[in-house]
Amino acid sequence: MNTPRHYLQFKDFTREQYDYLFGRVRWIKDKFKRYEPYHPLFDRTLVMIFEKASTRTRLSFEAGMQQLGGSAIYLNTRDSQLGRGEPVEDAAQVISRMSDVVMIRTFEQDIIDRFAANSRVPVINGLTNEYHPCQILADIFTFIEHRGSIQGKTVAWVGDANNMSYTWLQAAEVLDFKVRVSTPPGYGIDPARAGLAGTGHFELFADPMEACRGADLVTTDVWTSMGFEAENDARMKAFADWCVDADMMAAANSGALFMHCLPAHRGEEVTAEVIDGPQSVVWDEAENRLHVQKALMEYLMLGKV
Ligand code: CP
């Protein structure tokens, strides 16, 4: 089992590699909770490049690297040459000679793929328009903590065809579970975009209630990026019936969990009753970004320990 060089999409790792990684997440999280120092990345440097805003991704990578004994440097495209036309290939050559691991949040997957192809050090996808693998890593670890293995289970995705839903589709193929997807007319997913092998791990539903029926996990995401709500009036109207509510949760299995990667708009993609209710595990999910990314950095930089 070779250690992968980069983490750009969920399908970059095999099921066996995820089994190992989730074991490390558990170990690292338990150690952190006991306040036991663990510094395997002493003196290592993480460079974080952000072309889009972030709270969770930035905090979890920066705090995670510090807790593992290393340091983290934040670059945004406004204050660096990255936003002024420097070729991404050149930036990758330079940044990867001064650091040990790079995390990038950018728009197009092509940018992060080109950066990785020219990097001497591991590159991690901190979100592109296409995929958000670190978030799904945290989501699945959270599911495992609460309900055990996700293999054979059913996830209902209600809402937009975005980087989260496409990454769920990839994860279902790698880890062998089902995703029931419901998106509004005109906003449907394109399974080819997820680069799936076509092993039938997802089903499409016109009715979001039907997608939730029998699900072990119901999950959604914002309909419009935070800060851009006013520009998206048409989307808000189209998505109005795709708000996860108590009726959808009641259609799911009795022990079903609710997840949301956050930030959330209560009253739009999810009711306050659901996100603040007993089936919601959104705070565990957010915290687990820290623990999964620590294990991910350890794995990419040190291999199996
Ligand atoms: N869920 C997530 O990626 O949050 P941020 O945008 O705050 O990083």
Residue nearest to atom 3 of ligand 1 (CA): 57
Provide the whole-model pTM: 0.96
Residue nearest to atom 7 of ligand 1 (CA): 55
Q: Retrieve residue 211's tokens.
A: 């997608």
Residue range of the domain that includes 184: 135-285
Question: Taking CA 289 as the corner, what is the angle to CA 284 and CA 290, rounded to the nearest 5 degrees?
Answer: 100
Q: Is 217 annotated among the ligand-binding residues?
A: no
Into how many domains does the chain fold?
2
Q: How far is the CA of 58 from the centre of ligand 1 (A)?
A: 8
**How confident is residue 66, by pLDDT bands cut at 50, 70 and 90?**
very high
Q: Same domain, yes or no, for 70 and 28?
A: yes
Active-site residues, by number, are: 105, 132, 135, 221, 261, 289
Q: How far apart are CA 45 and CA 122, in angstroms?
A: 12
Each residue's pLDDT tens digit, 32-64: 999 999 999 999 999 999 999 999 999 999 999
Q: How far apart are CA 133 and CA 103, in angstroms?
A: 12
The H or E element spanning position 258 is strand 257-260
Q: How far is the CA of 127 from the centre of ligand 1 (A)?
A: 8
State ipTM. 0.99
Each residue's pLDDT tens digit, 75-123: 998 888 888 889 999 999 999 999 999 999 999 999 999 999 999 999 9
Decide if 245 contacts 275 (C-beta within 8 A).
no
Looking at the predicted structure, is the pLDDT value of residue 261 above 90? yes
Decide if 233 contacts 276 (C-beta within 8 A).
no
Q: Same domain, yes or no, for 46 and 150?
A: no
Which CATH number fits the domain that encloses residue 205?
Answer: 3.40.50.1370
Q: Same domain, yes or no, for 126 and 223?
A: no
Selection from 180, 162, 163 nearest residue 256 by Cα: 180
Decide if 274 contacts 244 (C-beta within 8 A).
yes
How far is CA 279 from each of CA 223, 242, 276, rounded to the nearest angstrom?
21, 18, 8
3-state secondary structure of 219: strand
Looking at the predicted structure, is the pLDDT value of residue 194 above 80? no
Q: Same domain, yes or no, for 141 and 121?
A: no
Q: Is 212 annotated among the ligand-binding residues?
A: no
Q: Same domain, yes or no, for 144 and 44?
A: no
**How confident is residue 171, by pLDDT bands cut at 50, 70 and 90?**
very high
For residues 103-131, b (16+ Cβ closer than 10 Å) or e, as one string?
Answer: bbbbeebebbbbbbebbebbbbbbbbebb
Q: How far is the CA of 239 from the centre of ligand 1 (A)?
A: 21
Each residue's pLDDT tens digit, 286-296: 999 999 999 99
Q: Same domain, yes or no, for 178 and 79?
A: no
Among 104, 283, 289, the mutation site with the greatest number of ligand 1 atoms within 8 A of its Cβ is 289
Q: Is 66 annotated among the ligand-binding residues?
A: no
Q: Same domain, yes or no, for 66 and 33?
A: yes
Q: How far is the CA of 10 from the centre of ligand 1 (A)?
A: 17
Q: Same domain, yes or no, for 202 and 65?
A: no
Name the one residue in this structure whose structure tokens are 């079903």.
256
Sign of CA dihedral 260, 17, 59, 283: positive
Q: Retrieve residue 194's tokens.
A: 């997820």
Selection from 241, 293, 277, 242 nearest residue 63 by Cα: 293
Looking at the predicted structure, is the pLDDT value of residue 1 above 70? no
Average pLDDT over residues 146-158: 98
The alpha carbon of residue 175 and the mean position of all alpha carbons in its chain are separated, in whole angstroms, by 15
In a domain, 1, yes or no: no
Among 56, 58, 224, 283, the mutation site with the greatest number of ligand 1 atoms within 8 A of its Cβ is 56
In a domain, 115, yes or no: yes
Q: Same domain, yes or no, for 85 and 142?
A: no
Q: What is the pLDDT, as a whole number, of residue 16?
A: 98
Which residues is 227 bridged to in the sheet?
A: none
